[in-house]
Amino acid sequence: MLISLYLFISYGFIALVMFIASMLKKQEYVSEETSRKIIHIGVSNWYFIALYFASSIDIGLLIIPPITFIFFNYLSYRLNLVKGMERADKKDLGTVYYPIALLALLLFSNQIGKVDVGFLGFMVLGYGDGLAAVIGKKFGRTRSKSGKSFIGSLTMFIVSLVVSIVTILYFQQPNYVILALFIAVFATFVEYFTPKGLDNLTVPIFTSLLYYVLLLL
């Protein structure tokens, strides 16, 4: 019964986010890129659902939604099933890497027994990387050869810093300001130097690994 509730809430939440983004794009309230980032940011909040059920459901069942969406997102990438989620550039596998990163973080957090490690990395991806793209595209004027803007990178740093401080404080870790600064700077550099799409893997995984290493020091 509990697993059924978990899956119903998980799939229902993700479907709702995709539906809202697709409708906003269809009605031309938002651009294609903004629609993608609504999904990018919105779906990252699924991690809260996973955290709520984590103590009651075995990890083998907890990872069913991200595994499902690895296959679903790949089909959508190939067949353009969710137009509000896909880019015209078929070399960009970012939507497939996204649930792969989620799966990796859930498994890693379970292995080390620290749920905050995976949570922080995925929130940095969802909110930091997501808002950096939206604000950078709208207000960015000076861009690097990779297409990244200064204002976008600044947004990545600020949001990553806020996410890190809130997460570290909530999980009652010491030296939260120093930890958060290290994490925010590191995540910003990773996002800046990683090719588009691949940052859906590098940002959350490397950020979580850094956080874990810092906790061990």
Residue 201's pLDDT is what? 97
Tens digits of residue pLDDT in 93-137:
889 999 999 999 999 999 999 999 999 999 999 999 999 999 998
CA 112 from centre of chain: 20
C-alpha span between 68 and 103 (Å, rounded):
10
- Taking CB atoms within 8 Å and a gap of at least 24, the contacts of 71-79 are 73/98, 73/99
Residues with Cβ within 8 Å of 96's Cβ and at least 6 positions away in sequence, in order, are 70, 73, 74, 77
Residue 143's pLDDT is what? 65
Residue 78's pLDDT is what? 86
**Quick one: three-class SS letters along 71-86?**
HHHHHHHHHCCCCCCC
Residue 33's pLDDT is what? 85
Ramachandran category for residue 172: left, alpha or beta (phi over 0 → left; psi -120 to 50 → alpha): left
**Smallest Cα–Cα separation from 112: which of 3, 190, 211?**
211
pLDDT by 10-residue block (mean), the chain, 217 residues: 96 96 88 90 98 96 98 89 69 90 98 97 98 89 73 97 96 89 98 91 98 94
Task: Please say whether the beta carbons of 106 and 63 come within 8 A.
Answer: yes
Residue 142's pLDDT is what? 66
Residue 145's pLDDT is what? 63
**pTM score:** 0.93
Q: Exposed, middle or buried by CB within 10 Å (0-12, 13-18, 19+), for 121?
A: buried
- Taking CB atoms within 8 Å and a gap of at least 24, the contacts of 41-46 are 41/126, 41/127, 41/130, 41/131, 42/17, 43/14, 43/17, 43/18, 43/98, 43/126, 44/122, 44/123, 44/125, 44/126, 44/127, 44/130, 45/13, 45/126, 46/10, 46/13, 46/14, 46/102
One-letter amino acid identity for 7?
L
Residue 144's pLDDT is what? 64
